[in-house]
Amino acid sequence: MSIERAMDILRKYPLCNHCLGRLFARLGTGLDNEERGRAIKDYLLMRIHERILNEGLSDELLNDVKALAVSGHEPSIKFLSNMGINVSPARCYVCGDTIFNRLNEWVNNIVNSLRSLGIEFRSFRLGSRVPLDIQNRELSITTEFNISSAESIKREINRELGKRVSAMLGVSFNREEPDVEVVIDVNTGSVEVQIMPIYISARYRKVHRLINEEGQVKWPIDRVIQAYNAQDVVIHTGGEDPMGVRVLGNGRPVILQVVKPSKRPDVNDVYALLKDSGYDIVLDNLSRVRASAVVKMKARVRDYVITYRVLAITDNSVTNENIKSLHDYFRNRQVVQVFRRGRRIRRRISMVYELDGRVIRDRLVEFLIRCQGNLYIRGFVHGGLGDVEPSIAGTLGFSVRPVEIDILNISD
Ligand SMILES: [Zn+2]
């Protein structure tokens, strides 16, 4: 895109400095669009002036100076008035002169909205709603003149507002992970603010065996809410614990979504507040993560490798011989679980990688089972009604009832 095209454009459409400069946004570093638009108009006038000096004044050259003057270029207006020609500038074809003289007004609206929240934030992202007719007129010019170096008016508005808000509040602009998001409606000047959640990844251990089916597991969520002065906390876990199972060892992955936090303390300071034996859940390894970490964690659950300890009561005595044959049989063995819902049948395949066991007393056996994260552990032990195949009970040929299950390790 050559700057020469600028004259073609201005002959047809009066553009303010911002809207002209934006069409050539990729040219000239260290200039903002206003300066760039102004520089292009200065350059065009100087070239016309040079040609007038060399070739004499023609209608063509005079009309070009008039086009520059109509676009609000002061030196061109002055140039013409020296010749006794008065030209008054027209409104910018794209923005109608309704945008860039109102930036400071909008900055004040934004700053007031953010201050009135009374929350702590260090970064923000800013967006704007720009009337469609403005965007369409801009697009029609870039299309008509085949311009590839343009920046959109939205981007310029967002950047210009962002710079000023950043300077006034001493907070940084962050496109990826802002603490708050601001959207200004350019039509009405109204501002919407969204407080972005904080995501904290951790490992949790469930240290008590909750045998009461109604029993709610007590997470230290009230402490987290307090630490962030937040509205709520949503718990995203990597998989679910079977009822009554303790989670020991390195714990299970979890991400806490802190909703509408008013404070943003360091996770290490929050960690200190969670140390209390009054909760069923112990959280460790806290770190800040992005929102996308939740989806990534959920996608990994199938591939977790979980080590269970299962204490089981059997109908018949279990011999060391039995244990050895179970151990040999369940080495990298596929287990199929069948779900029936009405006439629909769904199969889930899980891997059992390794199984060990020891007889504690006559009919009391402890198993150590290393398996894929999606294995239905209880069903794998007792066999269900034949809907988990093969199972420990099915392989032994008599009933095996799990009485205690613990998760000893989760590799994620
Ligand atoms: Zn304009």
CATH number at residue 172: 3.30.2300.10
DSSP 88: P
| Residue with token string 């009933």 | 399
Q: How remote is the CA of residue 175 from the centroid of ligand 1, in Å?
A: 25
Question: Which conformational region is residue 201 in: left (phi greater than 0), alpha (psi within -120 to 50 degrees), or beta?
Answer: beta
CATH number at residue 277: 3.30.70.2510
For the chain, the first-to-last Cα distance in angstroms comes to: 52
Task: Give the separation between CA 123 and CA 125, rounded to whole angstroms.
Answer: 7
Torsion sign (Cα): 302, 308, 312, 317 = positive
Q: Note whether 335 and 376 are same-domain residues.
A: yes
Q: Which of 360, 353, 355 is nearest to 314 (CA)?
A: 360
Q: How remote is the CA of residue 95 from the centroid of ligand 1, in Å?
A: 4
Q: Let me know if residue 96 belongs to a domain.
A: no
- pLDDT recorded at residue 214: 58
Q: Among 239, 270, 301, which residue terminates a domain? A: 301
Burial environment of residue 130 by CB neighbours within 10 A (0 to 12, 13 to 18, 19 or more): buried
Does 376 show up as a binding residue in the annotation?
yes
- pLDDT recorded at residue 394: 94
Residue pair 1/148 in contact (Cβ under 8 Å)? The answer is yes
Torsion sign (Cα): 209, 210, 213, 219 = negative
Task: Assess whether the previous peptide bond of 390 is cis (omega < 30° from 0).
Answer: yes
- pLDDT recorded at residue 133: 95
Contacts of 308 (CB under 8 A, 6+ apart): 367, 368, 369, 370, 371, 377, 405, 406, 407, 408
Q: Note whether 295 and 332 are same-domain residues.
A: no
- 231 has a pLDDT exceeding 60: yes
Q: How remote is the CA of residue 91 from the centroid of ligand 1, in Å?
A: 8
Q: Let me know if residue 98 belongs to a domain.
A: no
DSSP 399: -
Q: Among 163, 195, 227, which residue terminates a domain? A: 195
pLDDT single digits (tens) 85-135: 999 999 999 999 999 999 999 999 999 999 999 999 999 999 999 999 999
Q: Let me know if residue 95 belongs to a domain.
A: no
- Angstrom CA distances, 71 to 26, 51, 128, 135, 156, stand at 22, 21, 26, 19, 19
| Mean pLDDT lowest among 214-223, 326-335, 345-354 | 214-223
- pLDDT recorded at residue 81: 96
Quick one: average pLDDT of 273-284?
87
Look up the domain containing 275 and give its range.
198-301
| Residue with token string 């200004």 | 184
Task: Give the separation between CA 223 and CA 229, rounded to whole angstroms.
Answer: 9
Q: What is the band of 213 on the pLDDT scale with cuts at 50, 70, 90?
A: low
Q: Among 269, 286, 301, which residue terminates a domain? A: 301
Q: Let me know if residue 151 belongs to a domain.
A: yes
- pLDDT recorded at residue 212: 57
Q: Note whether 308 and 400 are same-domain residues.
A: yes
Q: Note whether 212 and 249 are same-domain residues.
A: yes
Q: Note whether 191 and 241 are same-domain residues.
A: no
- 345 has a pLDDT exceeding 80: yes
pLDDT single digits (tens) 282-308: 999 999 999 999 999 999 998 999 999
| Mean pLDDT lowest among 112-116, 149-153, 338-342, 354-358 | 338-342
Ion ligand 1: residue ranges with CB closer than 5 A: 16, 19, 92, 94-95
Burial environment of residue 9 by CB neighbours within 10 A (0 to 12, 13 to 18, 19 or more): buried
Residues of the chain with pLDDT > 90: what percent? Answer: 84
Q: Note whether 160 and 208 are same-domain residues.
A: no
Q: Note whether 190 and 209 are same-domain residues.
A: no
Q: Let me know if residue 185 belongs to a domain.
A: yes
Quick one: average pLDDT of 44-70?
96
Q: Note whether 341 and 383 are same-domain residues.
A: yes
Q: How remote is the CA of residue 99 from the centroid of ligand 1, in Å?
A: 7
Q: Note whether 149 and 173 are same-domain residues.
A: yes
Q: Which of 259, 247, 263, 255 is nearest to 287 (CA)?
A: 255
Task: Give the separation between CA 276 and CA 221, rounded to whole angstroms.
Answer: 12
Q: Let me know if residue 97 belongs to a domain.
A: no
Q: Note whether 208 and 189 are same-domain residues.
A: no
Q: Let me know if residue 92 belongs to a domain.
A: no
Report the mean per-residue pLDDT for the chain: 93
Q: Let me know if residue 77 belongs to a domain.
A: yes
Quick one: average pLDDT of 175-199?
95
CATH number at residue 364: 3.30.70.3190
Q: How remote is the CA of residue 16 from the centroid of ligand 1, in Å?
A: 4
- 277 has a pLDDT exceeding 90: no
Residues of the chain with pLDDT > 70: what percent? Answer: 98
- 358 has a pLDDT exceeding 90: yes
Q: Note whether 376 and 312 are same-domain residues.
A: yes
pLDDT single digits (tens) 107-116: 999 999 999 9
Q: How remote is the CA of residue 57 from the centroid of ligand 1, in Å?
A: 30
Q: Into how many domains does the chain fold?
A: 4
Q: Note whether 179 and 218 are same-domain residues.
A: no
Q: How remote is the CA of residue 21 from the centroid of ligand 1, in Å?
A: 9
- pLDDT recorded at residue 4: 80
Does 308 show up as a binding residue in the annotation?
yes
Residue pair 1/24 in contact (Cβ under 8 Å)? The answer is yes
Q: How remote is the CA of residue 160 from the centroid of ligand 1, in Å?
A: 14
